[in-house]
Amino acid sequence: MRYVAFIHADDAPGFGISFPDFPGCVTQGGTMEEALARAREVLAFHVSAMLEDGIEIPAPRSIDEIEADTSLSGWREGATLALVPLDPGRAARDAIAIPADQDDAEDGEVTIEALEGGLKARRARKALAAAEDAIDIALALEARAEDEGKPSMPAELVKATLDGRLHPLAAWRKTVGLTQAQLAGKADVRMATISDIEQGRIDPRQSTLVALAAALGVDLDDIVD
């Protein structure tokens, strides 16, 4: 799979490369060879980032199609056109974990489907690592609970805080089984303040955090986001 690139000679010695199918995907090099080598890397990581963000990847257009596109006339003026293969390179292939049966390293090109498969595998590995971290933290909190008599948090709530889906204050409040109103009464803090903290809308005073931690029976550091 190859995409058309525009190669422009810069005012200073060197060459700039851009991709009409990927506005913002640009690079440069001191020589034509260097610029083209960098173009392969930039194209691969640009496409990988789009896939991770859930952005649809355009199908490659031919040189004839690019030349017929009148909206590109200004951009295309004075440019040499070249075809650049979508090639993640060895480091990127390893990081993305392109499936072996779709990785033609000798050919140096890769399909969108291969990149999608590799990115799904990487996200799965990251999710597994986060789950393992959550279990480790939950076990540590359980040990602390036995030693110090403090509450321990279930692994699913630990993971929610690691993922950023749940504020630590909300996680600990749920762990000990308190509603916002009940915690407000125990800590002598306004319920609206607790809600704002859990939603990340305010940076609370130290005294407020101390009161909330004491009411929950946890350390101050436990509820700080």
Position 50 scores a pLDDT of 83
Position 108 scores a pLDDT of 46
Position 169 scores a pLDDT of 95
> 2-86, which class in CATH?
alpha beta
Position 167 scores a pLDDT of 93
Tokens for 146, please give them: 């036995």
Q: Residue ranges of the chain with pLDDT lower than 50?
A: 89-108
Position 3 scores a pLDDT of 92
Tokens for 40, please give them: 């392969």
Beta strands in 31-162 (DSSP E): 80-85
pLDDT digits (tens, 9 = 90+) for 53-74: 778 888 889 999 999 999 999 9
- Give the count of beta carbons closer than 10 Å to the beta carbon of residue 148: 10
* Separation CA 110–CA 102 (nearest Å): 7
pTM of the model: 0.45
What does the buried/exposed string (b/e) look like for 58-79 if buried means 16 or more CB atoms within 10 Å of the residue's CB?
eebeeeeebeeeeeeeeebeeb
- Give the count of beta carbons closer than 10 Å to the beta carbon of residue 142: 15
| Domain map (residue ranges) of the chain | 2-86, 123-223
> 123-223, which class in CATH?
mainly alpha
Position 132 scores a pLDDT of 65
Beta strands in the chain (DSSP E): 2-9, 15-18, 26-29, 80-85
Burial of 20 (0-12, 13-18, 19+ CB in 10 A): buried
Topology alike, domains 2-86 and 123-223: no
pLDDT digits (tens, 9 = 90+) for 164-208: 888 999 999 999 999 999 999 999 999 999 999 999 889 888 999
User: Sign of the CA dihedral 93, 95, 96, 101?
Assistant: positive
